[in-house]
Protein backbone atom coordinates (compact mmCIF):
# COMPACT_ATOMS: atom_id res chain seq x y z
CA UNK A 1 0.00 0.00 0.00
CA UNK A 2 1.38 3.42 -0.95
CA UNK A 3 1.58 6.34 1.50
CA UNK A 4 -1.18 8.11 -0.47
CA UNK A 5 -3.41 5.06 -0.12
CA UNK A 6 -2.83 5.24 3.63
CA UNK A 7 -4.20 8.77 3.69
CA UNK A 8 -7.19 7.72 1.60
CA UNK A 9 -7.81 4.91 4.07
CA UNK A 10 -7.57 7.41 6.88
CA UNK A 11 -10.23 9.58 5.25
CA UNK A 12 -12.66 6.69 5.71
CA UNK A 13 -12.16 6.94 9.46
CA UNK A 14 -12.96 10.66 9.32
CA UNK A 15 -16.45 9.86 7.97
CA UNK A 16 -17.35 8.26 11.32
CA UNK A 17 -15.73 10.57 13.89
CA UNK A 18 -17.79 9.08 16.71
CA UNK A 19 -15.83 5.86 16.41
CA UNK A 20 -12.69 7.45 17.82
CA UNK A 21 -13.56 10.96 18.95
CA UNK A 22 -13.24 11.73 22.63
CA UNK A 23 -14.46 15.03 24.13
CA UNK A 24 -11.63 16.85 25.87
CA UNK A 25 -11.91 18.61 29.20
CA UNK A 26 -9.54 20.19 31.69
CA UNK A 27 -9.59 16.94 33.66
CA UNK A 28 -8.51 14.97 30.61
CA UNK A 29 -5.64 17.35 29.97
CA UNK A 30 -4.18 16.39 33.32
CA UNK A 31 -4.13 12.76 32.24
CA UNK A 32 -1.64 13.59 29.53
CA UNK A 33 0.78 15.30 31.89
CA UNK A 34 1.16 14.79 35.60
CA UNK A 35 3.92 14.46 38.13
CA UNK A 36 3.72 11.55 40.55
CA UNK A 37 3.99 12.84 44.11
CA UNK A 38 3.09 11.66 47.58
CA UNK A 39 0.10 13.51 49.01
CA UNK A 40 0.26 14.01 52.76
CA UNK A 41 -3.21 14.40 54.30
CA UNK A 42 -3.86 17.20 56.82
CA UNK A 43 -4.91 14.66 59.42
CA UNK A 44 -1.77 12.99 60.77
CA UNK A 45 -3.74 9.87 61.70
CA UNK A 46 -4.53 9.12 58.07
CA UNK A 47 -2.12 7.31 55.82
CA UNK A 48 -0.68 9.28 52.91
CA UNK A 49 -1.86 8.54 49.40
CA UNK A 50 0.73 7.49 46.86
CA UNK A 51 -1.45 8.36 43.89
CA UNK A 52 -0.35 10.97 41.35
CA UNK A 53 -1.23 14.55 42.22
CA UNK A 54 -2.30 16.98 39.50
CA UNK A 55 0.36 19.51 38.50
CA UNK A 56 0.17 22.95 40.18
CA UNK A 57 -1.23 24.58 37.06
CA UNK A 58 -4.45 25.29 35.24
CA UNK A 59 -5.23 25.97 31.58
CA UNK A 60 -7.37 29.02 30.86
CA UNK A 61 -8.38 31.15 27.90
CA UNK A 62 -6.89 34.62 27.46
CA UNK A 63 -8.04 37.46 25.23
CA UNK A 64 -4.72 37.93 23.45
CA UNK A 65 -3.03 34.53 23.20
CA UNK A 66 -5.79 31.95 23.39
CA UNK A 67 -5.07 29.14 25.83
CA UNK A 68 -2.39 29.73 28.44
CA UNK A 69 -1.02 27.95 31.51
CA UNK A 70 -1.17 29.55 34.98
CA UNK A 71 0.21 28.56 38.36
CA UNK A 72 -2.37 27.52 40.97
CA UNK A 73 0.13 27.95 43.81
CA UNK A 74 3.63 29.26 44.32
CA UNK A 75 6.28 27.28 42.45
CA UNK A 76 9.89 27.46 43.60
CA UNK A 77 12.87 27.93 41.32
CA UNK A 78 14.12 24.56 40.10
CA UNK A 79 10.89 22.73 40.97
CA UNK A 80 9.55 20.17 38.53
CA UNK A 81 6.15 21.51 37.48
CA UNK A 82 5.03 18.39 35.65
CA UNK A 83 6.20 15.75 33.22
CA UNK A 84 4.64 14.90 29.87
CA UNK A 85 4.60 11.88 27.62
CA UNK A 86 4.27 12.59 23.89
CA UNK A 87 1.05 12.02 22.01
CA UNK A 88 3.16 11.21 18.98
CA UNK A 89 6.91 11.32 18.35
CA UNK A 90 9.33 10.36 15.60
CA UNK A 91 13.12 10.21 15.44
CA UNK A 92 15.08 12.41 13.07
CA UNK A 93 16.03 10.54 9.91
CA UNK A 94 19.67 11.28 10.67
CA UNK A 95 19.28 9.53 14.04
CA UNK A 96 17.13 6.63 12.88
CA UNK A 97 19.80 4.03 13.69
CA UNK A 98 21.06 5.61 16.91
CA UNK A 99 17.87 6.15 18.93
CA UNK A 100 14.88 4.01 19.88
CA UNK A 101 12.19 4.14 17.21
CA UNK A 102 9.54 4.41 19.94
CA UNK A 103 10.85 6.51 22.85
CA UNK A 104 13.86 8.22 21.16
CA UNK A 105 16.26 7.03 23.85
CA UNK A 106 19.89 6.65 22.79
CA UNK A 107 20.46 2.97 22.09
CA UNK A 108 23.24 0.54 22.84
CA UNK A 109 24.00 -1.33 19.63
CA UNK A 110 24.81 -4.46 21.61
CA UNK A 111 21.56 -4.70 23.55
CA UNK A 112 19.19 -3.00 21.08
CA UNK A 113 16.41 -4.96 19.40
CA UNK A 114 16.24 -4.50 15.62
CA UNK A 115 13.19 -4.76 13.40
CA UNK A 116 13.42 -4.09 9.65
CA UNK A 117 16.04 -1.36 9.83
CA UNK A 118 14.86 0.41 12.99
CA UNK A 119 15.95 -0.16 16.57
CA UNK A 120 14.26 -0.34 19.95
CA UNK A 121 15.98 0.21 23.28
CA UNK A 122 13.99 -2.55 24.97
CA UNK A 123 11.45 -5.28 24.34
CA UNK A 124 8.89 -3.10 26.11
CA UNK A 125 9.34 -0.30 23.55
CA UNK A 126 9.26 -2.83 20.72
CA UNK A 127 5.98 -4.18 22.03
CA UNK A 128 4.54 -0.69 22.60
CA UNK A 129 5.42 0.33 19.04
CA UNK A 130 3.09 -2.27 17.58
CA UNK A 131 0.21 0.21 17.86
CA UNK A 132 1.61 1.98 14.80
CA UNK A 133 4.51 -0.09 13.45
CA UNK A 134 2.48 -3.12 12.34
CA UNK A 135 0.43 -0.75 10.19
CA UNK A 136 3.45 1.24 9.01
CA UNK A 137 5.20 -1.89 7.71
CA UNK A 138 2.36 -2.52 5.25
CA UNK A 139 3.43 0.43 3.08
CA UNK A 140 6.65 1.32 1.27
CA UNK A 141 7.78 4.62 2.78
CA UNK A 142 11.16 4.78 0.98
CA UNK A 143 10.20 7.57 -1.44
CA UNK A 144 8.38 9.44 1.35
CA UNK A 145 11.40 9.28 3.67
CA UNK A 146 13.84 10.17 0.88
CA UNK A 147 11.80 13.24 0.02
CA UNK A 148 11.69 14.33 3.66
CA UNK A 149 15.43 13.75 3.94
CA UNK A 150 16.39 15.72 0.82
CA UNK A 151 13.98 18.56 1.61
CA UNK A 152 14.89 18.69 5.29
CA UNK A 153 11.30 18.04 6.38
CA UNK A 154 10.41 16.70 9.82
CA UNK A 155 6.70 17.33 10.37
CA UNK A 156 5.45 14.86 7.71
CA UNK A 157 7.19 12.11 9.70
CA UNK A 158 4.99 12.91 12.69
CA UNK A 159 1.92 12.93 10.43
CA UNK A 160 2.92 9.53 9.05
CA UNK A 161 3.19 8.02 12.50
CA UNK A 162 -0.07 9.56 13.68
CA UNK A 163 -1.83 8.27 10.55
CA UNK A 164 -0.66 4.75 11.35
CA UNK A 165 -1.87 5.14 14.94
CA UNK A 166 -5.30 6.29 13.75
CA UNK A 167 -5.63 3.50 11.17
CA UNK A 168 -4.77 0.92 13.83
CA UNK A 169 -7.38 2.41 16.18
CA UNK A 170 -4.75 3.40 18.76
CA UNK A 171 -5.60 7.12 18.51
CA UNK A 172 -8.68 9.14 17.52
CA UNK A 173 -8.39 10.95 14.21
CA UNK A 174 -9.13 14.28 15.92
CA UNK A 175 -6.68 13.88 18.80
CA UNK A 176 -4.83 17.10 17.87
CA UNK A 177 -7.93 19.18 17.10
CA UNK A 178 -7.72 20.94 20.46
CA UNK A 179 -4.28 22.36 19.63
CA UNK A 180 -3.66 25.71 17.97
CA UNK A 181 -3.12 25.36 14.19
CA UNK A 182 -0.52 27.23 12.16
CA UNK A 183 -1.48 29.37 9.18
CA UNK A 184 -0.30 27.27 6.23
CA UNK A 185 0.20 28.78 2.79
CA UNK A 186 -0.44 26.70 -0.31
CA UNK A 187 3.32 26.56 -0.85
CA UNK A 188 3.85 25.06 2.59
CA UNK A 189 1.21 22.39 1.95
CA UNK A 190 2.63 21.41 -1.43
CA UNK A 191 6.13 21.23 -0.01
CA UNK A 192 4.92 18.84 2.66
CA UNK A 193 3.95 16.21 0.05
CA UNK A 194 0.20 15.62 0.45
CA UNK A 195 -2.85 17.87 0.30
CA UNK A 196 -5.70 15.79 1.76
CA UNK A 197 -7.80 17.70 4.28
CA UNK A 198 -6.92 15.51 7.26
CA UNK A 199 -3.23 15.77 6.44
CA UNK A 200 -3.52 19.54 6.12
CA UNK A 201 -5.40 19.89 9.41
CA UNK A 202 -2.93 17.70 11.29
CA UNK A 203 0.10 19.30 9.69
CA UNK A 204 -1.18 22.77 10.62
CA UNK A 205 -1.21 21.75 14.27
CA UNK A 206 2.00 19.76 14.25
CA UNK A 207 3.92 22.57 12.58
CA UNK A 208 3.24 25.05 15.37
CA UNK A 209 3.16 22.63 18.34
CA UNK A 210 6.06 20.24 17.64
CA UNK A 211 8.97 20.18 20.07
CA UNK A 212 12.52 19.48 18.89
CA UNK A 213 13.93 16.75 21.16
CA UNK A 214 17.50 17.26 22.35
CA UNK A 215 18.62 14.78 24.97
CA UNK A 216 20.56 16.31 27.85
CA UNK A 217 23.75 14.44 28.70
CA UNK A 218 22.95 13.81 32.34
CA UNK A 219 20.44 14.62 35.06
CA UNK A 220 19.78 18.33 35.44
CA UNK A 221 18.39 19.19 38.85
CA UNK A 222 20.03 22.51 39.69
CA UNK A 223 19.29 25.81 37.98
CA UNK A 224 22.78 26.34 36.56
CA UNK A 225 22.75 22.97 34.82
CA UNK A 226 19.15 23.47 33.78
CA UNK A 227 19.90 26.79 32.11
CA UNK A 228 22.77 25.30 30.12
CA UNK A 229 21.02 22.05 29.24
CA UNK A 230 19.98 23.15 25.77
CA UNK A 231 23.51 24.32 25.02
CA UNK A 232 25.21 21.16 26.20
CA UNK A 233 22.60 18.84 24.70
CA UNK A 234 23.54 16.55 21.87
CA UNK A 235 22.10 16.98 18.38
CA UNK A 236 18.35 16.70 17.99
CA UNK A 237 17.17 13.09 18.01
CA UNK A 238 13.61 13.73 16.86
CA UNK A 239 10.40 15.65 17.33
CA UNK A 240 7.26 15.15 19.40
CA UNK A 241 3.81 16.55 20.13
CA UNK A 242 2.50 16.94 23.68
CA UNK A 243 -0.87 18.01 24.95
CA UNK A 244 -0.34 20.14 28.06
CA UNK A 245 3.09 21.62 27.13
CA UNK A 246 1.55 22.83 23.86
CA UNK A 247 -0.63 25.24 25.86
CA UNK A 248 2.43 27.11 27.18
CA UNK A 249 2.84 30.47 25.46
CA UNK A 250 6.14 31.99 24.38
CA UNK A 251 8.31 34.55 26.14
CA UNK A 252 11.87 35.50 25.23
CA UNK A 253 12.64 35.68 28.96
CA UNK A 254 10.70 32.62 30.14
CA UNK A 255 10.02 31.46 33.69
CA UNK A 256 9.80 27.79 32.68
CA UNK A 257 12.10 25.44 30.82
CA UNK A 258 11.53 22.08 29.15
CA UNK A 259 14.24 19.42 29.18
CA UNK A 260 14.58 15.84 28.01
CA UNK A 261 16.89 13.56 29.98
CA UNK A 262 16.80 10.05 28.52
CA UNK A 263 13.95 9.89 26.03
CA UNK A 264 10.96 11.80 24.63
CA UNK A 265 9.33 12.14 28.06
CA UNK A 266 9.44 15.88 28.77
CA UNK A 267 10.15 17.54 32.12
CA UNK A 268 8.89 21.07 32.75
CA UNK A 269 10.99 22.95 35.32
CA UNK A 270 10.70 26.40 36.87
CA UNK A 271 13.62 28.69 36.00
CA UNK A 272 12.77 31.08 38.85
CA UNK A 273 10.18 31.51 41.61
CA UNK A 274 6.68 31.69 40.14
CA UNK A 275 3.79 33.28 42.03
CA UNK A 276 0.28 31.91 42.26
CA UNK A 277 -1.77 33.13 39.30
CA UNK A 278 1.31 33.94 37.21
CA UNK A 279 1.35 32.67 33.63
CA UNK A 280 3.94 29.97 32.90
CA UNK A 281 5.81 30.55 29.66
CA UNK A 282 8.57 28.84 27.71
CA UNK A 283 10.84 30.09 24.93
CA UNK A 284 10.03 28.56 21.54
CA UNK A 285 13.43 29.45 20.08
CA UNK A 286 17.02 30.09 21.12
CA UNK A 287 16.67 32.93 23.62
CA UNK A 288 20.30 33.98 23.11
CA UNK A 289 19.58 35.27 19.60
CA UNK A 290 19.38 38.97 18.86
CA UNK A 291 16.07 40.83 18.82
CA UNK A 292 15.94 40.97 15.00
CA UNK A 293 16.74 37.26 14.66
CA UNK A 294 14.11 36.29 17.23
CA UNK A 295 11.47 38.51 15.63
CA UNK A 296 12.15 37.04 12.18
CA UNK A 297 12.12 33.42 13.36
CA UNK A 298 8.95 33.79 15.43
CA UNK A 299 7.15 35.55 12.58
CA UNK A 300 8.15 33.06 9.89
CA UNK A 301 8.05 29.92 11.97
CA UNK A 302 5.14 30.57 14.34
CA UNK A 303 3.21 33.40 12.73
CA UNK A 304 3.24 36.01 15.51
CA UNK A 305 5.13 39.06 16.67
CA UNK A 306 6.44 38.74 20.20
CA UNK A 307 5.33 41.45 22.62
CA UNK A 308 7.15 40.22 25.71
CA UNK A 309 8.88 42.77 27.93
CA UNK A 310 12.27 41.87 26.53
CA UNK A 311 11.18 42.41 22.94
CA UNK A 312 9.25 45.58 23.80
CA UNK A 313 12.51 47.01 25.17
CA UNK A 314 14.36 46.04 21.97
CA UNK A 315 16.76 43.73 23.81
pLDDT in tens, 89-128: 999 999 998 999 999 999 876 666 777 779 999 999 999 9
- pTM of structure: 0.75
Domain hosting residue 239, numbered range: 57-217+235-284
Beta partners for 68?
A: 60
Mean pLDDT, the chain, whole residue set: 78
**103 found inside a domain:** yes
**39 found inside a domain:** no
**302 found inside a domain:** no
- CATH number of the domain encompassing residue 149: 2.170.270.10
**4 found inside a domain:** no
- Give the pLDDT score at 217: 55
> Kindly report the CA angle at 274 between 268 and 280, in degrees rounded to 5?
50
**290 found inside a domain:** no
**78 found inside a domain:** yes
Among candidates 206, 209, 219, 210, which has minimal Cα distance to 269? Answer: 219
What is the number of other CB atoms lying within 10 angstroms of the CB of residue 36? 9
DSSP state of 17: G
Query: Could you tell me the pLDDT band of residue 24, with boundaries at 50, 70 and 90?
Result: very low
Count: domains in the chain: 1
Q: What's CA 240's distance to the chain center, in Å?
A: 4
The torsion region of residue 88 among left (phi > 0), alpha (psi -120 to 50) and beta comes to beta
For 217-260, how does the pLDDT look when each residue is reduced to its tens digit (9 = 90+)? 554 445 445 444 444 444 689 999 999 999 999 999 999 999 99
For 34-74, how does the pLDDT look when each residue is reduced to its tens digit (9 = 90+)? 443 323 333 444 444 556 667 799 999 888 778 899 999 99
**147 found inside a domain:** yes
Query: Could you tell me the pLDDT band of residue 6, with boundaries at 50, 70 and 90?
Result: low
Contact 31, 52 (CB under 8 A): no
What is the chain's length? 315
**268 found inside a domain:** yes
Amino acid sequence: MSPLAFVLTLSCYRRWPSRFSTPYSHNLLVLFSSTATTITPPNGNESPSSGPAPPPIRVALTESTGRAVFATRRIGAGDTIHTAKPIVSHPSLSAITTVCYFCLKKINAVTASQSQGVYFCSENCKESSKVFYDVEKKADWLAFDDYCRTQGLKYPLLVKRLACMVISGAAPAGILDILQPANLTQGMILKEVLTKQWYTDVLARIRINAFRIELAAGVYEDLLSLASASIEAEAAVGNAIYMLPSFYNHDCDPNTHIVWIENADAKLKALRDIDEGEELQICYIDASMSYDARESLLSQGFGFKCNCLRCMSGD
